Amino acid sequence: MKKPRKHHNGVQPKKKLRIQDSVQSIQLVKSSESWDGRPLPAYKTGRPEITILRITIPSNHTLPMHKHPIINAGVLLKGELTVITESGGILHLKPYDPIVEVVDTWHYGRNEGDEPAEIIVFYAGEKGEPVTIKKPENELPLNKELKQTEKPAP
């Protein structure tokens, strides 16, 4: 008599699962361009490495200027998030909005909302490669980019 096969986690299935007709699959985004309209770069040829991060940005908080050397995409789960490129491109995200992030482009995010913003980001990189590079302080413009979206005082 044949032994039942074990799944990769070592647990034997009790019964086969039936796919229900009620299962939905909704494509949130499919693109060969980042949100600013630039083409995504070709994948690298080294050993692939996938990284998935859940990032929480406190309310009224601005992230430092940074860039991603690899293709990445995510979905904002809650809160509000504005992404601003060094050249002035702006993207406003609300819950469940997808983003195909800019690659090798200096940018920062800002949560101007009253609650933390939470985003899940999937990075498709090469083994050992960083997913984020912060811009050195001595290369930052004199807060020019931070003032572009600030609201004037009443």
pLDDT at 22 over 90: no
Residues 6+ away with beta carbon under 8 Å from 110: 61, 62, 63, 81, 82, 84, 149
Instruction: Give the pLDDT score at 140.
Output: 73
Residue 144, Cβ density class (10 Å: 0-12 exposed, 13-18 middle, ≥19 buried):
exposed
CB atoms within 10 A of CB 20: 6
pLDDT digits (tens, 9 = 90+) for 84-99: 999 999 999 999 999 9
Taking residues 115-124, what's their average pLDDT? 98
Of 56, 53, 55, give the one whose Cα is nearest residue 116.
Answer: 56
Instruction: Give the pLDDT score at 153.
Output: 35
pLDDT digits (tens, 9 = 90+) for 57-67: 999 999 999 99
- E strand segments, 58-129: 61-62, 66-67, 71-78, 81-85, 90-93, 98-100, 107-111, 117-126
Task: List domains and CATH numbers for the chain.
Answer: 48-135 (2.60.120.10)
Q: Are 123 and 100 in contact (CB under 8 A)?
A: no
